[in-house]
Structure 1
């Protein structure tokens, strides 16, 4: 079989695999609140954004890539690119530093971003460029989308992937915690990396009423920006695990001593969320007592308030005025 025939087979397989992925995401209900995203996922070819990726193997990782001389290896690469799973795309000293997120989670986050026609969107964490392409396709105007990442290697590869797929949003190299002021104001900000608090610079670059969606403490916080110094919102029900935001110095999370916590609750997903949210302000036993007293609250009962005038940010349960509030650190 000639190279052209092989390429056509891969193109056909990509179209079939992409359609299957779209059906799987649709069945998950990820974009029920904003079905317009289905068309973007149907149109944007994910495999162009992951020319290679890594999968777990005995003793480390196995690299899959689209230029393998083995046709079966290329097929495995292509099928894997359209699985509803996160893909490790960049490793350093055996540690994951960049990935392509699980498509159904991306779809859920994009739907929850509540993008409207004409919105200017800032993405924190360029990754492969796939998310920026989905945003550019949805908005129909590349210039409305800005994506930023700290590492030149990541932004350069994202730029190349985007161009290969026919999209040209602004790709900026810089510290995402500082935003991209030269492209402001923004109507939406979406982060694809875990935060420990909300960077004040983002609020100053937002239009009043803007929406910020970001991973924090194994959850997704959705904030409404009131003005350059105030924002408030609640967590979504959805759990979310991302690589940390890199750049400005941030405290390393310590390992909590859970010896006093009943064993059956130590790895409970919602308890671990509360531990992450209150790290540095509640010890594990205090957090567990609260969690039990309040009937093991779901994520959506928690929220965050940002008050830039007082340089304060705090998390809360049920009510931003208390009685359960904790400073973010």
Structure 2
């Protein structure tokens, strides 16, 4: 059987797998607030953005590849491309450099971004180009800009986007500086973790604009004021992203968790508080606060940026619980 027929079969398989993914995301309720996104996920072929990816196997990673000479391997690659899981797309010496996010998390983030027709959107972290394609499908190519520091990543994102029929503006540069020549933006979305809010993004936002970014294993949604200030709360969703390259890596010394009960150490919400207050509260103080406040969910926390100050808080920006973010 020639490659042509198998290509058609793969197209049929892709359409069925994509429809199944759309049903799965729909069942999660991700689009309830903005069902227009369903159409974008139904239309954009994710497999064109992950020509190969890596899956964890015992002792390391196995590469799945769409051009594999073996038909079964191509089908495994295609099915995997439409699983609702993150896909590792770039590894160096076993370390994950880049991945394609879990589609249902992308749906959550795009809905929370609150995009309206006519908006101009900046995406920080081009990745495979898939998220930029979803945005371009909804808004049009000329309204979407995506930036990444790594020229290899922007080059392959451009290629994937063109193969899928999308041509948003893809810029190679430091995402923390934004893309001033394309500003102002109505919405800015980051797909890499940061430890502080880049002031350039606020300067490049329209007053009333939104910035959505991963920080401290959560997703913060900030509304930008006319004076470059911003404030907002975390979404309830946990989020673990590769750090922004070029930015200082969050982390540093391992925390001393002596005296913190094992149950809390393993708790995602406690670990979020630890990440948010790192360098300000020691883990024992954080644990006492966490228990006293009833083990707060992520959406009780927020961030305020005002002048040269930037702080995280629980319940109230002016309340008793506030912690400076690293400047």
Equivalent residue number for residue 318 of structure 1: 315
Equivalent residue number for residue 252 of structure 2: 253
Equivalent residue number for residue 57 of structure 2: 57
Equivalent residue number for residue 265 of structure 2: 266
What SS does the aligned partner of 2:225 have?
Answer: strand
Equivalent residue number for residue 231 of structure 1: 230
Structure 2: how far apart are the matches of 1:49 and 1:95? 21
Q: Per-residue deviation at 1:250?
A: 4.7
- TM normalised by structure 1 equals 0.98
Deviations 1:13-51 (A, max 9, x none): 000000000000000011111010000000000000000
> For 1:287-302, what aligned pairs fall within 5 Å after superposition?
287-302=286-301
Q: Per-residue deviation at 1:228?
A: 4.5
What SS does the aligned partner of 2:147 have?
Answer: strand
What SS does the aligned partner of 1:209 have?
Answer: strand
Deviations 1:233-269 (A, max 9, x none): 0001111110001114456432111111011111101
When the two chains are superposed, the root-mean-square deviation of aligned CA atoms in Å is: 0.8
Equivalent residue number for residue 27 of structure 2: 27
> For 1:39-54, what aligned pairs fall within 5 Å after superposition?
39-54=39-54
> For 1:70-89, what aligned pairs fall within 5 Å after superposition?
70-89=70-89
Structure 1: how far apart are the matches of 2:284 and 2:144? 44
What SS does the aligned partner of 2:31 have?
Answer: coil
Q: Could you list the runs of 5+ residues in structure 2 that have no partner in the other structure?
A: none
- The reply on whether 1:222 has 2:221 as its aligned counterpart is yes
Contact 2:233 2:303 in 1 (8 A): yes
Query: How many residues are paired up?
Result: 326
> For 1:3-14, what aligned pairs fall within 5 Å after superposition?
3-14=3-14
Contact 2:194 2:250 in 1 (8 A): no
Structure 1: how far apart are the matches of 2:191 and 2:227? 22
Contact 2:243 2:249 in 1 (8 A): no
Larger deviation: 95-104 or 248-257? 248-257
Structure 2: how far apart are the matches of 1:210 and 1:242? 23
Contact 1:206 1:228 in 2 (8 A): no
Equivalent residue number for residue 304 of structure 1: 303
User: Hey, which bits of structure 1, 4+ residues long, moved more than 2 A?
Assistant: 248-254
> For 1:39-188, what aligned pairs fall within 5 Å after superposition?
39-139=39-139, 141-188=140-187
Structure 2: how far apart are the matches of 1:73 and 1:16? 18
Structure 2: how far apart are the matches of 1:304 and 1:252? 19
Deviations 1:181-213 (A, max 9, x none): 000000000000011010001000000000011
Q: Could you list the runs of 5+ residues in structure 1 that have no partner in the other structure?
A: none
Equivalent residue number for residue 284 of structure 1: 283
Contact 1:266 1:272 in 2 (8 A): yes
- TM normalised by structure 2 equals 0.98
What SS does the aligned partner of 1:62 have?
Answer: strand
Structure 2: how far apart are the matches of 1:53 and 1:129? 14
